[in-house]
Amino acid sequence: MLRAKYQNVIDDLLSRYPVKQSALLPLLNLAQKEEGYVSQAAMKEIAGILDLTPPQVFETVTFYTMLSLKPIGKFHVQVCRSLMCALVGADNLLGWLQKHLGIGVGQTTQDKMFTLSAVECLGSCGTGPMFQINDDYYERLTEEKVGRILEDLRQTGDCAMKSGPFLL
């Protein structure tokens, strides 16, 4: 499936790394971009490409919060639950989001618009509570701000309040 459609991309990725197993994350990202999540079939195919076992690939997928084993919504809302964010209200924020979206952690709204996750540190300890939606960070959140963010995303698919992507 990936090889058939992306053989040139795969060859290019493999050429960048002296040890081909180092291409695991880029290939997992490619699979997720293609299907919206990392399927078992994709994990098996990637394992074969990289001379890894499927459990080795599975371990990597389950370690990284940016990878998913099941389809996620258009907007993946990842609430930071580190100690610093918890001290400034992350649990309250998570509860408000569950009530507002009508879903629990690990679930997706019926319209496939939002998936809610609780994750460990997102590297914004001085500006909590915060969450990441897809590649964008939103900091110093209040219920009012979160309501506006979600409404903007529903209406336009973008939000002017984002802080931008950060490297961890």
Q: What are phi and psi of 76, to 5 degrees?
A: -95, 105
SS (H, E, C) 120-142: CCCCCHHHCCCEEECCEEECCCC
What value does the mean pLDDT take over residues 142-159?
91
What value does the mean pLDDT take over residues 5-26?
95
Confidence at residue 156, expressed as pLDDT on a 0 to 100 scale: 86
Q: What percent of the chain has pLDDT over 90?
A: 79
DSSP structure class, residue 112: S
pLDDT tens digit string along 47-81? 999 999 999 999 999 998 789 999 999 999 999 99
Confidence at residue 167, expressed as pLDDT on a 0 to 100 scale: 33
What value does the mean pLDDT take over residues 105-125?
93
What three-state secondary structure class fits 59? Answer: helix
CATH of 2-63, one of 3.100.10.20, 3.40.50.1820, 1.10.260.40, 1.10.10.1590: 1.10.10.1590
**Domain residue limits, the chain:** 2-63, 75-156
Q: Which CATH architecture has domain 75-156?
A: 3-Layer(aba) Sandwich (3.40)
Answer left, alpha or beta for residue 164, where phi above 0 means left and psi between -120 and 50 means alpha: left
Q: What does pTM read for this prediction?
A: 0.76
